[in-house]
Amino acid sequence: MYSQKVLNHFYHPHNMGHMKNPDGVGEVGNPICGDILRLYIKIENNKIKNIRFETLGCAAAIAVSSMITEMVKGMKVKEALKITKKDIANELGGLPAIKMHCSNLAEEALQLAIKDYLDRKSKLQKI
């Protein structure tokens, strides 16, 4: 049912845990299945220097959370915004159709974290 990559990221998630003083936070949930993902980012020189996650959910939700952190670490913010749910699923070797909604969580959380960062940055520049 799950690819070896999905299982590896589920059993050995990368970049899991809380981040102190993040530059941006994105949190999303799926009310139907109950999965929740909180993504934290640190930005330096317009690149994602560090990224961490906290996920309450199934194996697929944890795997996509872990994978998105690996995909965007070191990436320019503008490029990270282009990542889609399909990109994430493909990096994991695919997801069962019934679990594709989990990749939505990662895409949306990343976009919200970047938006939060940009909003914070904009407010600081106005001061």
What CATH number did the domain enclosing 20 receive?
A: 3.90.1010.10
Pick from 21-25, 56-60, 107-111, 120-124: least confident = 120-124
Residues 6+ apart with CB under 8 A from 15: 50, 51, 52, 53, 66, 69, 70, 73
pLDDT at residue 103, rounded to an integer? 84
User: In angstroms, rounded to a whole number, what is the distance separating the alpha carbons of residues 102 and 62?
Assistant: 9
List, for residues 64-106, the tens digit of each pLDDT value: 999 999 999 999 999 999 999 999 999 999 998 888 888 889 9
Q: What is the pTM of this model?
A: 0.92
Q: List residues with catalytic annotation.
A: 33, 102
Q: State the residue range of the domain holding 106.
A: 4-126
Residue 127 pLDDT > 70: no
List, for residues 26-60, the tens digit of each pLDDT value: 999 987 788 999 999 999 999 999 999 999 999 99
Tally helices (H) and strands (E) across the chain.
5, 3
How many domains does the chain fold into?
Answer: 1
